[in-house]
Structure 1
């Protein structure tokens, strides 16, 4: 005799639910389903726990500093402001990786403490070095009265004077994201304070160098083409250019670039000779933020581990920002055994691409110059020198034929083909401009790589000792710098 049905089951049967569903008995999933459920739930649980801890850590540091934003300010006062430097990581096409790390992990704490920031953008290796060196040279020229800051046509009541602006910079600080940024910043600082005060136009200097190497010189031929009468010694006939009018000296013929030494240039700036100062003026304190970037298939396990350990990066960024907010500084610790600048330069030039992993250990300098020294092993496989060499070789192998085509069309030696009518070839003027742009980019990348290359060490000068300051971190001695990995 069948067991009488309960009222709930009878009611559910009338709704159209199959009887097999109502009479089914629960049972354990199969072995494969149990493995899948266990792995999935473990991964999701660990991810949820990590993100919860990350939010908790960030909130705890925000609570520590938010009282600074609640302090009243006068209408004429300005908030504290810091400058952020994030250089391009070698081998990464995204040049904003370091600045995004700052915005995600350091910026929230600064915003909670009502601290303003200014990010200096860089697009390729060496840009930060050239920017810092140029800023230092301008500062030295202004201090000596060689240059004067441009006067504003309108006197605004809240506009800061040069002295007030400098005081605000000293009270703020400078944030350096990663060891590669520290290398570029120190190289620019050393170049700006150790070099001369002359303003050098890099593009004009390179244009003169390229114009004198004979790449665009005419090749003398025994006979002229049939039906064409021209002097082989004559200057090439200029062709029409698709470029907008410009006064760039790179677009002028080589003869125009050369100036007679007997004719002085009235518009040229007088030569300024100034020896490097023995002591430096006060410098803004530095905040060294740990940052790494894993690129390549070999680092996929590191990327996976980093994805599930977001709390480590949040803690590293929050601790760095908290140190800046509190404003406790100490002297920048230089190398234990000082080398002369000439020795450092010789060591940098002797270090080659074939340096092994021991090359990173050989670059130990001591003090804060060894900040995140272990991260150089991540940069070593991403040398741009081989790609630059291949690109330069490929470009110069096709340049003679392109130059010959441009001159033939300019002199009317032949007519354009149908393909050339659809895609007009570059003129000689455009080829000169193209070569200048390519060489400028290649040489800038080579210069930048020589600065951040593993084994070269951080540039240091004795004049920096006792002048450079560093913000103290809460766990300066016991903390792990590897927490900043990406």
Structure 2
């Protein structure tokens, strides 16, 4: 039989036993059979799920595609039209590797439907816990200041019509609240409501300092850079000599404008009749400045929330930790559920009805952290890590599942930050003492600071480093108070009349 076999098959690498008439195929070994079975099953599940995702996406896009061909006008006789636009809020999940995980989910499962329906969108993403809430509050503060300036008596808004410069921005501001706010997940809902409460209900001082300057003064008041408990080596004769020399140099400098011994001989800068008639005279300018200072308040009172704000929420979940790996594996082979959720969100925005948000019935599930209380009052806010419900289906959105999906190590974030801050401040005293001693020796020897001072050991650099670290720690603590397990959501009584939710 072997002699009748064509030798070409042997040179092709085909076993001779396969070419025999008596050969019968056999099953592979048990381990190989198990590997092939598992691999083929997983591959089949993956291909089937992605095929269904494409079919569902094409189906929903076909259903919403007719909306892109309709002309949307502000009024029946409007000369221009404003495209429909929504704002997407996505907060960063604590201790998550991906900064924009919510935005990625939105672009993959919601964006195709929005594009098919010709709905524009704008993404507001928080890069750290609490950053989204601070961004919302800051934008609202700026809007309140601009609105207060426009409501002043001396301000007159010129008429703006189509075709004029600035019409597009003015038109967008007029119709900004007519859209919807899409909330991605439980963390975004917490930061969104906290930002609304802080932005509208917080008294806003107009003469407040910048954030960095205010924080720098607070650190100085706390005595972070004081070395009163150190020895008097820093107040040696060399330092005293340097300060005395600087003082003598300042005293010896001539005055740039010496006083005139005969002031009566100088001609008057303004005559009396010109000063009385000119609106730009010093007396008139002083009177106008005093009137404006008395008419404009130093602190803006809390303003009511706009009643046109709508906020549908999206059930986006992202569990973190090894304990949730089985759930994440199940969702990996069931992405068609995410496609359905994205289509439901877009449908609720288009054909859904707007209903007022349901107020809470149990106040124990609310977050009492405001963010604008003094440090001593804010520290008195109790910290409870137990999950409590509010009784509102809108405020209890994705609760308690989303609260349980956080890392258990995030519960210890408050203690870790306080310990890290205490250790840094203890080391800062020693580094500051060494920097001042090095600077003193450099000044007395009249040497160049570049050749003697080591890198990063000047007092100015230490102050900048302490300011940046303190700012980061405070932002992390603020985000922890907003997003921690059992923190609840912020609520104000006016939200019951102002906030609305789209529902199918």
Common fold: TM-score over 0.5: yes
Structural RMSD (CA): 4.1
The structural deviation recorded for 1:322 is 2.3
Q: Does 1:457 align with 2:499?
A: no
- 1:230 is matched with 240
- Aligned-partner Cα distance in 1 for 2:464–2:163: 42
1:442 pairs with one of 473, 476, 500: 473
The structural deviation recorded for 1:225 is 8.8
CA contact (8 A) 2:90 2:126 kept: yes
- Aligned-partner Cα distance in 2 for 1:188–1:295: 25
- Aligned-partner Cα distance in 2 for 1:208–1:347: 19
| Pairing of 1:189-228 with structure 2 (within 5 A) | 189-199=196-206, 200=208, 201-219=210-228, 221-222=231-232, 228=238
Matched residue SS, 1:92: coil
1:282 pairs with one of 297, 307, 310: 307
TM-score when normalising by structure 2: 0.74
- 1:316 is matched with 341
Provide, for residues 181-237 of structure 1, a one-character-per-residue CA deviation record: whole Å limited to 9, x for no partner.
111111111122222132443222211110111121243635679884637999999
- Aligned-partner Cα distance in 1 for 2:240–2:37: 85
- 1:246 is matched with none
Provide, for residues 109-138 of structure 1, a one-character-per-residue CA deviation record: whole Å limited to 9, x for no partner.
111111111112322222222222222233
2:438 pairs with one of 403, 409, 422: 409
- 1:81 is matched with 85
Q: Which runs of 5+ in 1 are unaligned?
A: 238-264, 474-486
Query: Bigger CA drift: 306-315 or 176-185?
Result: 306-315
- 1:19 is matched with 16
The structural deviation recorded for 1:86 is 0.6
Provide, for residues 445-475 of structure 1, a one-character-per-residue CA deviation record: whole Å limited to 9, x for no partner.
11121112222221111111122111114xx
- 1:103 is matched with 107
Structure with bigger gyration radius = 2
1:132 pairs with one of 120, 131, 136: 136
The structural deviation recorded for 1:432 is 1.0
TM-score when normalising by structure 1: 0.77
- Aligned-partner Cα distance in 1 for 2:245–2:487: 47
1:372 pairs with one of 386, 398, 417: 398
- 1:66 is matched with 65
The structural deviation recorded for 1:350 is 4.8
- 1:332 is matched with 357
Provide, for residues 380-399 of structure 1, a one-character-per-residue CA deviation record: whole Å limited to 9, x for no partner.
62243233223213322321
- 2:422 is matched with 393
Provide, for residues 2-57 of structure 1, a one-character-per-residue CA deviation record: whole Å limited to 9, x for no partner.
69958xx5774687855334224322222222222211111111111111122222
- Aligned-partner Cα distance in 2 for 1:99–1:235: 61
- Aligned-partner Cα distance in 1 for 2:298–2:367: 23
- Aligned-partner Cα distance in 2 for 1:49–1:172: 37
- 1:481 is matched with none
CA contact (8 A) 2:87 2:182 kept: yes
